[in-house]
Protein backbone atom coordinates (compact mmCIF):
# COMPACT_ATOMS: atom_id res chain seq x y z
CA UNK A 1 0.00 0.00 0.00
CA UNK A 2 2.80 2.40 0.84
CA UNK A 3 4.40 1.67 -2.52
CA UNK A 4 1.26 2.87 -4.31
CA UNK A 5 1.16 6.04 -2.22
CA UNK A 6 4.82 6.68 -2.99
CA UNK A 7 4.05 6.22 -6.69
CA UNK A 8 1.21 8.74 -6.67
CA UNK A 9 3.12 11.57 -4.97
CA UNK A 10 5.47 12.19 -7.97
CA UNK A 11 2.55 11.90 -10.38
CA UNK A 12 0.63 14.56 -8.44
CA UNK A 13 3.70 16.80 -8.51
CA UNK A 14 4.07 16.28 -12.27
CA UNK A 15 0.38 17.13 -12.67
CA UNK A 16 0.71 20.33 -10.66
CA UNK A 17 3.85 21.46 -12.48
CA UNK A 18 2.61 20.39 -15.92
CA UNK A 19 -0.82 21.96 -15.59
CA UNK A 20 -2.90 18.81 -15.05
CA UNK A 21 -3.07 17.61 -18.66
CA UNK A 22 0.62 16.87 -19.00
CA UNK A 23 1.52 13.76 -21.04
CA UNK A 24 4.38 13.26 -18.55
CA UNK A 25 1.85 11.81 -16.09
CA UNK A 26 0.89 9.09 -18.55
CA UNK A 27 4.52 8.41 -19.47
CA UNK A 28 5.48 8.17 -15.80
CA UNK A 29 2.49 6.41 -14.28
CA UNK A 30 1.74 3.69 -16.87
CA UNK A 31 5.04 1.77 -16.63
CA UNK A 32 5.06 2.23 -12.86
CA UNK A 33 1.54 0.87 -12.44
CA UNK A 34 2.26 -2.09 -14.74
CA UNK A 35 5.32 -2.92 -12.62
CA UNK A 36 3.44 -2.53 -9.32
CA UNK A 37 0.48 -4.64 -10.41
CA UNK A 38 2.74 -7.35 -11.86
CA UNK A 39 4.87 -7.59 -8.72
CA UNK A 40 1.82 -7.56 -6.43
CA UNK A 41 0.25 -10.41 -8.37
CA UNK A 42 3.51 -12.39 -8.29
CA UNK A 43 3.87 -12.05 -4.52
CA UNK A 44 0.21 -12.88 -3.93
CA UNK A 45 0.37 -15.98 -6.12
CA UNK A 46 3.56 -17.13 -4.37
CA UNK A 47 1.81 -16.73 -1.02
CA UNK A 48 -1.24 -18.74 -2.15
CA UNK A 49 1.16 -21.45 -3.32
CA UNK A 50 2.87 -21.34 0.07
CA UNK A 51 -0.55 -22.09 1.57
CA UNK A 52 -0.88 -25.03 -0.92
CA UNK A 53 -3.65 -23.37 -2.89
CA UNK A 54 -3.91 -22.61 -6.60
CA UNK A 55 -3.26 -19.16 -8.10
CA UNK A 56 -6.98 -19.00 -8.89
CA UNK A 57 -7.57 -18.04 -5.24
CA UNK A 58 -6.52 -14.46 -6.09
CA UNK A 59 -10.03 -14.00 -7.46
CA UNK A 60 -11.52 -14.35 -3.97
CA UNK A 61 -10.70 -10.68 -3.42
CA UNK A 62 -13.46 -9.76 -5.89
CA UNK A 63 -16.09 -10.94 -3.41
CA UNK A 64 -17.19 -7.78 -1.61
CA UNK A 65 -16.01 -7.38 2.00
CA UNK A 66 -15.55 -11.07 2.91
CA UNK A 67 -13.13 -11.81 0.05
CA UNK A 68 -10.58 -9.23 1.12
CA UNK A 69 -10.84 -10.31 4.74
CA UNK A 70 -10.44 -13.97 3.78
CA UNK A 71 -7.39 -13.24 1.60
CA UNK A 72 -5.83 -11.16 4.39
CA UNK A 73 -6.29 -13.91 6.95
CA UNK A 74 -5.04 -16.67 4.61
CA UNK A 75 -2.03 -14.76 3.27
CA UNK A 76 -1.20 -12.41 6.09
CA UNK A 77 -1.98 -14.23 9.31
CA UNK A 78 -1.68 -17.98 8.73
CA UNK A 79 1.54 -19.95 8.39
CA UNK A 80 2.37 -21.69 5.14
CA UNK A 81 2.11 -25.42 4.70
CA UNK A 82 4.67 -27.26 6.83
CA UNK A 83 6.90 -29.52 4.77
CA UNK A 84 6.68 -29.97 1.02
CA UNK A 85 3.42 -29.29 -0.76
CA UNK A 86 2.14 -29.42 -4.33
CA UNK A 87 4.15 -26.33 -5.27
CA UNK A 88 7.53 -27.27 -3.80
CA UNK A 89 9.57 -27.55 -0.64
CA UNK A 90 9.00 -25.57 2.54
CA UNK A 91 11.39 -22.57 2.31
CA UNK A 92 11.92 -22.42 6.10
* Nearest C-alpha neighbor of 57 from the set 72, 38, 77: 72
Is 91 a member of any domain? no
Is 84 a member of any domain? no
> Which of the pair, 22 or 85, is modelled with greater confidence?
85
Is 30 a member of any domain? yes
Return d(Cα 80, Cα 49) in angstroms, integer: 9
Range of the domain at 60: 2-77
The number of distinct structural domains making up the chain is: 1
Q: What's residue 33's pLDDT?
A: 79
Return d(Cα 57, Cα 55) in angstroms, integer: 5
Q: Are the C-beta atoms of 46 and 69 separated by less than 8 Å? A: no
Is 67 a member of any domain? yes
Is 82 a member of any domain? no
pLDDT digits (tens, 9 = 90+) for 37-77: 898 899 999 889 888 889 999 999 899 989 989 999 988 89
Cα atoms found within 13 Å of the Cα of residue 79, Cβ hemisphere only: 6
The residues that bridge with 85 in the sheet, in sequence order, are 88
Is 25 a member of any domain? yes
pLDDT digits (tens, 9 = 90+) for 17-47: 766 666 766 777 778 778 888 988 999 998 8
What band does 13 get if pLDDT is binned at 50, 70 and 90? confident
Amino acid sequence: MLVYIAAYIPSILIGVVGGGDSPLIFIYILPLMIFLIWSSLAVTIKRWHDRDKSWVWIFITFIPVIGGIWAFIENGCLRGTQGPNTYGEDPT
